[in-house]
Amino acid sequence: MPLVPMSEAVGAPGRGLGAFNVIQLEHAEAIVAGAEHAGTPVVLQVSENCVAYHGALAPIGQAVLAVARAAAVPVAVHLDHATSAGLVGEAVDLGFGSVMFDASRLAHDANVAATAEVAARCHAGGVWVEAELGEIGGKDGVHAPHARTDPGEAAGFVAATGVDALAVAVGTSHAMLTRDTVLDLPLIARLHDAVPVPLVLHGSSGVPDEALTAAVRHGMKKINIATQLNKVYTGAVRERLAADPALVDPRRYVGAARDAVAAEVARLLKIIRAD
Protein backbone atom coordinates (compact mmCIF):
# COMPACT_ATOMS: atom_id res chain seq x y z
CA MET A 1 0.00 0.00 0.00
CA PRO A 2 1.24 3.54 -0.66
CA LEU A 3 1.52 6.24 1.93
CA VAL A 4 -2.06 7.31 2.76
CA PRO A 5 -3.67 10.48 4.13
CA MET A 6 -4.74 10.41 7.76
CA SER A 7 -8.39 10.62 6.73
CA GLU A 8 -8.00 7.26 4.99
CA ALA A 9 -6.05 5.65 7.83
CA VAL A 10 -8.72 6.68 10.36
CA GLY A 11 -11.14 4.37 8.57
CA ALA A 12 -14.40 3.01 9.90
CA PRO A 13 -16.26 4.40 12.94
CA GLY A 14 -15.84 2.37 16.12
CA ARG A 15 -12.38 1.13 15.26
CA GLY A 16 -9.26 2.58 16.90
CA LEU A 17 -6.15 3.71 15.03
CA GLY A 18 -2.75 3.10 16.62
CA ALA A 19 -0.25 5.97 16.34
CA PHE A 20 3.31 5.19 17.44
CA ASN A 21 6.25 7.53 17.90
CA VAL A 22 9.46 7.04 15.94
CA ILE A 23 12.88 7.87 17.36
CA GLN A 24 15.21 5.99 15.02
CA LEU A 25 14.78 4.26 11.67
CA GLU A 26 14.44 0.91 13.44
CA HIS A 27 11.34 2.19 15.25
CA ALA A 28 9.63 2.99 11.95
CA GLU A 29 10.57 -0.41 10.52
CA ALA A 30 9.30 -2.19 13.63
CA ILE A 31 6.02 -0.26 13.75
CA VAL A 32 5.24 -1.07 10.13
CA ALA A 33 6.25 -4.72 10.60
CA GLY A 34 3.87 -4.94 13.55
CA ALA A 35 1.06 -3.34 11.56
CA GLU A 36 1.63 -5.73 8.67
CA HIS A 37 1.46 -8.68 11.07
CA ALA A 38 -1.78 -7.32 12.54
CA GLY A 39 -3.16 -6.49 9.09
CA THR A 40 -4.24 -3.01 10.10
CA PRO A 41 -3.44 0.64 9.23
CA VAL A 42 -1.01 2.51 11.44
CA VAL A 43 0.42 5.98 12.02
CA LEU A 44 4.14 6.74 12.17
CA GLN A 45 4.66 9.83 14.32
CA VAL A 46 7.72 12.10 14.40
CA SER A 47 7.68 14.45 17.38
CA GLU A 48 9.29 17.83 17.75
CA ASN A 49 11.56 16.21 20.36
CA CYS A 50 12.60 13.59 17.81
CA VAL A 51 13.44 16.35 15.34
CA ALA A 52 15.60 18.04 17.99
CA TYR A 53 17.39 14.74 18.67
CA HIS A 54 18.30 14.32 14.99
CA GLY A 55 19.08 18.02 14.54
CA ALA A 56 16.65 18.46 11.65
CA LEU A 57 13.37 17.06 10.33
CA ALA A 58 14.49 16.05 6.84
CA PRO A 59 16.78 13.07 7.63
CA ILE A 60 14.37 11.21 9.91
CA GLY A 61 11.30 12.51 8.08
CA GLN A 62 12.47 11.27 4.68
CA ALA A 63 13.39 7.90 6.18
CA VAL A 64 9.96 7.51 7.80
CA LEU A 65 8.20 8.48 4.58
CA ALA A 66 10.25 5.89 2.68
CA VAL A 67 9.32 3.17 5.18
CA ALA A 68 5.65 4.16 4.89
CA ARG A 69 5.69 4.06 1.08
CA ALA A 70 7.11 0.53 1.11
CA ALA A 71 4.56 -0.84 3.60
CA ALA A 72 2.05 -3.57 2.80
CA VAL A 73 -0.65 -1.85 4.90
CA PRO A 74 -1.93 1.76 4.86
CA VAL A 75 0.45 4.04 6.76
CA ALA A 76 -0.04 7.71 7.60
CA VAL A 77 2.90 9.90 8.62
CA HIS A 78 2.24 12.51 11.29
CA LEU A 79 4.20 15.35 12.90
CA ASP A 80 3.54 15.18 16.65
CA HIS A 81 3.44 18.06 19.17
CA ALA A 82 4.89 20.74 16.92
CA THR A 83 4.93 24.08 18.72
CA SER A 84 6.39 25.93 15.73
CA ALA A 85 4.42 26.86 12.65
CA GLY A 86 7.73 26.79 10.80
CA LEU A 87 8.25 23.12 11.64
CA VAL A 88 4.70 22.39 10.51
CA GLY A 89 5.52 24.02 7.18
CA GLU A 90 8.67 21.91 6.81
CA ALA A 91 6.69 18.73 7.45
CA VAL A 92 4.05 19.68 4.88
CA ASP A 93 6.72 20.48 2.30
CA LEU A 94 8.43 17.15 2.99
CA GLY A 95 5.24 15.19 2.34
CA PHE A 96 3.72 14.59 5.78
CA GLY A 97 -0.04 14.19 5.39
CA SER A 98 -0.87 15.06 8.99
CA VAL A 99 0.42 17.41 11.69
CA MET A 100 -0.33 18.21 15.29
CA PHE A 101 0.06 21.91 16.00
CA ASP A 102 0.36 22.40 19.74
CA ALA A 103 -0.33 25.98 20.80
CA SER A 104 -1.73 24.84 24.14
CA ARG A 105 0.81 26.84 26.14
CA LEU A 106 -0.86 30.00 24.90
CA ALA A 107 -3.91 31.65 26.42
CA HIS A 108 -7.13 30.26 24.99
CA ASP A 109 -7.85 33.07 22.50
CA ALA A 110 -4.25 33.07 21.27
CA ASN A 111 -4.33 29.29 20.94
CA VAL A 112 -7.50 29.50 18.85
CA ALA A 113 -6.08 32.20 16.57
CA ALA A 114 -2.73 30.46 16.02
CA THR A 115 -4.31 27.05 15.49
CA ALA A 116 -6.91 28.39 13.05
CA GLU A 117 -4.18 30.04 10.98
CA VAL A 118 -2.09 26.86 10.81
CA ALA A 119 -5.15 24.75 10.02
CA ALA A 120 -6.14 27.01 7.13
CA ARG A 121 -2.65 26.82 5.62
CA CYS A 122 -2.47 23.05 6.03
CA HIS A 123 -5.93 22.46 4.62
CA ALA A 124 -4.95 24.41 1.51
CA GLY A 125 -2.43 21.63 0.89
CA GLY A 126 -4.76 18.79 1.86
CA VAL A 127 -3.02 18.16 5.19
CA TRP A 128 -4.92 16.87 8.26
CA VAL A 129 -4.51 18.93 11.46
CA GLU A 130 -4.70 17.78 15.09
CA ALA A 131 -4.72 20.20 18.02
CA GLU A 132 -5.01 20.26 21.80
CA LEU A 133 -6.59 22.36 24.51
CA GLY A 134 -4.97 23.52 27.73
CA GLU A 135 -1.45 23.51 29.12
CA ILE A 136 0.86 20.79 27.84
CA GLY A 137 3.86 18.94 29.17
CA GLY A 138 4.75 15.68 30.88
CA LYS A 139 2.85 14.41 33.87
CA ASP A 140 2.14 17.93 35.14
CA GLY A 141 0.45 19.20 31.99
CA VAL A 142 -3.00 18.83 30.54
CA HIS A 143 -2.74 15.05 30.66
CA ALA A 144 -2.04 14.86 34.38
CA PRO A 145 -4.63 12.51 35.89
CA HIS A 146 -6.65 15.35 37.44
CA ALA A 147 -7.07 17.31 34.19
CA ARG A 148 -10.30 17.05 32.21
CA THR A 149 -11.49 18.53 28.92
CA ASP A 150 -14.90 20.22 28.96
CA PRO A 151 -17.07 18.91 26.09
CA GLY A 152 -18.65 22.29 25.36
CA GLU A 153 -15.30 24.06 25.28
CA ALA A 154 -13.88 21.32 23.07
CA ALA A 155 -16.73 21.63 20.58
CA GLY A 156 -16.31 25.41 20.49
CA PHE A 157 -12.55 25.10 19.93
CA VAL A 158 -13.05 22.74 16.99
CA ALA A 159 -15.66 25.04 15.45
CA ALA A 160 -13.42 28.09 15.84
CA THR A 161 -10.22 26.50 14.49
CA GLY A 162 -11.45 24.03 11.88
CA VAL A 163 -9.10 21.28 13.07
CA ASP A 164 -9.60 17.67 11.98
CA ALA A 165 -8.90 15.97 15.33
CA LEU A 166 -8.63 16.96 18.97
CA ALA A 167 -6.44 15.60 21.76
CA VAL A 168 -8.41 15.58 25.01
CA ALA A 169 -7.65 15.10 28.70
CA VAL A 170 -9.56 12.17 30.20
CA GLY A 171 -7.20 10.88 32.89
CA THR A 172 -3.95 10.02 31.11
CA SER A 173 -0.43 11.38 31.61
CA HIS A 174 2.51 11.58 29.26
CA ALA A 175 5.62 9.42 29.81
CA MET A 176 4.00 6.91 32.16
CA LEU A 177 6.19 3.91 33.02
CA THR A 178 3.39 2.03 34.76
CA ARG A 179 0.14 0.92 33.10
CA ASP A 180 -2.37 1.76 35.81
CA THR A 181 -4.15 4.86 34.49
CA VAL A 182 -7.87 5.07 35.25
CA LEU A 183 -9.71 6.61 32.30
CA ASP A 184 -12.85 8.72 32.61
CA LEU A 185 -14.92 6.63 30.21
CA PRO A 186 -18.18 8.55 30.71
CA LEU A 187 -16.35 11.76 29.79
CA ILE A 188 -14.95 10.12 26.65
CA ALA A 189 -18.51 9.25 25.63
CA ARG A 190 -19.70 12.82 26.26
CA LEU A 191 -16.78 14.26 24.29
CA HIS A 192 -17.50 11.87 21.44
CA ASP A 193 -21.11 13.09 21.35
CA ALA A 194 -20.13 16.77 21.54
CA VAL A 195 -17.08 16.98 19.28
CA PRO A 196 -17.59 16.40 15.54
CA VAL A 197 -14.01 15.29 14.79
CA PRO A 198 -11.97 12.23 15.88
CA LEU A 199 -10.72 12.26 19.48
CA VAL A 200 -7.07 11.56 20.25
CA LEU A 201 -5.75 9.91 23.42
CA HIS A 202 -2.27 11.05 24.38
CA GLY A 203 -0.32 9.35 27.17
CA SER A 204 -1.75 5.96 26.23
CA SER A 205 1.35 4.06 27.39
CA GLY A 206 0.01 4.29 30.94
CA VAL A 207 -3.36 2.75 30.06
CA PRO A 208 -4.02 -0.98 30.70
CA ASP A 209 -5.00 -3.13 27.74
CA GLU A 210 -8.65 -3.51 28.67
CA ALA A 211 -8.99 0.24 29.21
CA LEU A 212 -7.55 0.97 25.76
CA THR A 213 -10.25 -1.22 24.23
CA ALA A 214 -12.89 0.48 26.38
CA ALA A 215 -11.63 3.94 25.38
CA VAL A 216 -12.12 3.11 21.70
CA ARG A 217 -15.55 1.66 22.32
CA HIS A 218 -16.54 4.85 24.17
CA GLY A 219 -15.42 7.08 21.30
CA MET A 220 -11.64 7.48 21.14
CA LYS A 221 -10.19 7.12 17.65
CA LYS A 222 -6.44 7.82 17.48
CA ILE A 223 -4.39 6.21 20.27
CA ASN A 224 -0.89 7.68 20.70
CA ILE A 225 1.78 5.40 22.18
CA ALA A 226 5.47 6.19 22.67
CA THR A 227 6.85 5.29 26.12
CA GLN A 228 5.56 1.71 26.05
CA LEU A 229 7.57 1.03 22.89
CA ASN A 230 10.63 2.66 24.42
CA LYS A 231 10.33 0.35 27.42
CA VAL A 232 10.15 -2.71 25.17
CA TYR A 233 13.00 -1.49 22.96
CA THR A 234 15.32 -0.74 25.87
CA GLY A 235 14.44 -3.96 27.66
CA ALA A 236 15.35 -6.02 24.60
CA VAL A 237 18.69 -4.23 24.21
CA ARG A 238 19.54 -4.80 27.86
CA GLU A 239 18.61 -8.47 27.65
CA ARG A 240 20.63 -9.04 24.48
CA LEU A 241 23.75 -7.32 25.84
CA ALA A 242 23.50 -9.12 29.18
CA ALA A 243 23.30 -12.44 27.35
CA ASP A 244 26.48 -11.69 25.38
CA PRO A 245 28.83 -9.20 27.13
CA ALA A 246 31.28 -9.42 24.22
CA LEU A 247 28.69 -8.25 21.68
CA VAL A 248 29.71 -5.05 19.87
CA ASP A 249 27.73 -5.14 16.60
CA PRO A 250 24.77 -2.77 17.03
CA ARG A 251 22.80 -4.62 14.37
CA ARG A 252 22.55 -7.62 16.65
CA TYR A 253 21.21 -5.86 19.73
CA VAL A 254 19.26 -3.12 17.94
CA GLY A 255 17.83 -5.81 15.67
CA ALA A 256 16.58 -7.66 18.74
CA ALA A 257 14.95 -4.44 19.93
CA ARG A 258 13.32 -3.90 16.54
CA ASP A 259 11.83 -7.40 16.63
CA ALA A 260 10.52 -6.89 20.16
CA VAL A 261 8.89 -3.57 19.24
CA ALA A 262 7.28 -5.12 16.16
CA ALA A 263 5.72 -7.83 18.32
CA GLU A 264 4.44 -5.27 20.83
CA VAL A 265 2.96 -3.07 18.10
CA ALA A 266 1.12 -6.05 16.61
CA ARG A 267 -0.24 -6.93 20.05
CA LEU A 268 -1.35 -3.37 20.82
CA LEU A 269 -2.98 -2.87 17.44
CA LYS A 270 -5.23 -5.86 17.98
CA ILE A 271 -6.29 -4.37 21.33
CA ILE A 272 -6.77 -0.87 19.93
CA ARG A 273 -8.89 -1.98 16.97
CA ALA A 274 -11.61 -2.97 19.47
CA ASP A 275 -13.78 -4.60 16.80
- The C-alpha atoms of residue 36 and residue 73 are separated, in whole angstroms, by 6
User: Out of 80, 102, 164, 184, which one is annotated catalytic?
Assistant: 80
- The C-alpha atoms of residue 51 and residue 271 are separated, in whole angstroms, by 29
Name the pairing type of β-strands 165-167 and 17-21.
Answer: unpaired
- The C-alpha atoms of residue 140 and residue 153 are separated, in whole angstroms, by 21
Q: Hey, how many other C-beta atoms are within 10 angstroms of the C-beta on 224?
A: 26
In the annotation, is 80 catalytic?
Answer: yes
Contact 42, 68 (CB under 8 A): no
Q: Looking at the chain, list the stretches that DSSP marks H as alpha helix, in order from N- to C-terminal side.
A: 6-10, 25-38, 48-54, 57-69, 85-94, 108-124, 151-161, 185-194, 209-218, 227-243, 250-273
Contact 1, 8 (CB under 8 A): no
49-70 per-residue burial string, b: 16 or more CB within 10 A, e: under 16: ebbeeeeebeebbebbbebbee
Active-site residues, by number, are 80
